[in-house]
Structure 1
Amino acid sequence: MGTPARSAEDMLRAGRVGDAMSALRESIRSDPSDPKKRLFLFQLNCVLGDWEKALNQLNVAAELDPGVQLMARVGRAAIQCEVFRQDVFAGRRSPLLLGEPEPWVGLMLQAVQLSGQGRHAQASELRAQAFESAPARGGTLTVSESEEGVPHRFEWLADADERLGPMIEAIVDGKYYWVPCTHIRAIYLEPPSDLRDLVWAPATFRWGNGGEMVGLIPTRYPGSERSPDGSIALARKTEFNEVAPGTFEPAGQRMWATDAGEYPLLQTRRIEIDHADGPVTNG
């Protein structure tokens, strides 16, 4: 018979998030001083969107193991950004913007506020205006399944969530941003290696001005953590739900939409966007 911690991992693989939580709590009761189990519980609480409990477990893990301090700093900031993000999509707050916003960006911010208030028809009208004005830029996208890493060429890139469209959510320097695709030269992503990567994907951003920063991209769409479907909460699939006639909002793993097709975030290794001074040459 396996240990409760091992049982939790097995249940998680089967998509049984609630059962995994119960098994892990039982394991911690028998060994409360194990920082690895506390980190596991932190990550599982993040999957379920229980941010306060996640923060508590992260702090306990950092007290038990000083080597966790760096992860704890990143995790605390990510949790704060996730709470802020919830308010953005509920129409209560506006995201920070990277770079000088163009008029179409303002329309996108107004639209997401209206969507959060349930005024979907008005939001769709504003988004249609924004999409008409937003400049399209070509580039390449490379996924893990690409043969020998061959990049897929696209003429335009957007998030599959129409609330975002040509904007990318990013957590940079401990703050939550919306970044227009036109401000980005490249995004580099590593394959997921831990449970928390199903909540926030580590990324390296290269900006249009040549600067470079590391950060996170929320892996899942807002509200995915509340889904009773473990495959949605664990970013194993994406579903689109009609919230109003002709208006759809996704749940589960983030998808990139291009003229060449759609690509899941967790399989994406790099996105390179054309700029006037030529394509990205290294990364």
Structure 2
Amino acid sequence: MDAESLLKAGDLDGCLAALTERVRRDPADPKLRIFLFQVLAVRGDWKRALNQLAVLGEMHAGALGMVATYRSAIQCEALRADVFAGKRTPVVLGDPTPWIASLVEVLRMRAAEQHDAATELRDRAFEQAAETPGTLDGESFAWIADGDTRLGPVLEVIVDGRYAWAPFERIASLDISPPADLRDTVWAPVDITWSNGGQSVGFIPTRYAGTESAGDAGLLLARRTEWIEIAPGDFAGRGQRMLMTDAGEHALLDVRALHFASADAVPESHDG
């Protein structure tokens, strides 16, 4: 089977082996380099993915824009991992409020296995967050949250080459591009309109942090989601991101448009 067929079948190891052999035979083909970069990114092999981007940039000047964009996205993954490990504080888009700081502190408390206190603090933070009614692909909802309870009313984004947290209450609309290439299973392109009318182009990480260590093709390729109970009633996701509303569950790659009924904060950047 060729690399494309192996990928479709979910055999990432076989796909990588077949693709590596094709690149060895035809090292100057930029399309093969792009494919290889994407497979490595799906596997979470960030160092080798960066190496392929570097080679691609040297051999094909027309790819420099893509190289710069995805180099930044990969670099953001290291910060992202540290945030969920409770080691670093994310950039917050918008005027920081106490409940967002509480969610960051919850991650530190989880890392220290202070689970009961972390759950109490998380619950208080969720109570303080504003409700965010709107529509998802035309369907009305009264509230929306990430299914991962470490995030809840916060959306992870990569904007201007930086990893950040964007509270849903700071967002006016999200227009998410339909998946068109393998890399979209790692970073979903999005157009963001902020509550003050400003606009940004960036990515939403398609998969939950830590998915790259799962070793499961269905999770790595964002074909499914699984939940790990990290404390009673507290769930961390792996695989494709899921958005929850009072109307149901929504896989990120199936969502095209989110419009919020009201939001009034200016999306300025703040480091915790």
TM-score band, normalised by shorter chain? over 0.9
Give the secondary structure class of the aligned counterpart of 2:256: strand
> Compared with structure 1, are the counterparts of its residues 276 and 164 closer, same or farther at alpha carbon in structure 2 (3 Å cutoff)?
closer
TM-score normalised to structure 2 length: 0.94
TM-score normalised to structure 1 length: 0.90
Tell whether the 8 Å contact from 2:81 to 2:209 is kept in structure 1 after alignment.
yes
Q: Distance in 2 between matches of 1:46 and 1:117?
A: 30
Q: Deviations over 1:43-76 (max 9, x none)?
A: 1111111111100001101111111000001011
Gapped runs of 5+ residues in structure 2?
265-272
Overall identity of the aligned pairs, in % = 49
Q: Does 1:264 align with 2:251?
A: yes
Alignment of 1:1-283 (within 5 A): 7-142=2-137, 151-275=138-262
1:117: how far off? Answer: 3.8
Gapped runs of 5+ residues in structure 1?
143-150, 278-283
Give the secondary structure class of the aligned counterpart of 1:161: coil
Q: Deviations over 1:80-139 (max 9, x none)?
A: 111110110111101001111111111111112222444333221111010111110210
* Number of corresponding residues: 264
Q: Distance in 2 between matches of 1:193 and 1:258?
A: 26
Give the secondary structure class of the aligned counterpart of 1:75: helix
Q: Distance in 2 between matches of 1:106 and 1:65?
A: 43
Moved more, 222-231 or 79-88: 222-231
Tell whether the 8 Å contact from 1:120 to 1:247 is kept in structure 2 after alignment.
no
> Compared with structure 1, are the counterparts of its residues 276 and 59 closer, same or farther at alpha carbon in structure 2 (3 Å cutoff)?
closer
1:244: how far off? Answer: 3.3
Runs of 4+ aligned residues of structure 1 deviating over 4 Å after TM superposition are: none
- Provide the alpha-carbon RMSD of the alignment: 1.3
**Relative contact order: is structure 1 or structure 2 higher (C-alpha 8 Å, sep ≥ 6)?**
2
Tell whether the 8 Å contact from 1:88 to 1:94 is kept in structure 2 after alignment.
yes
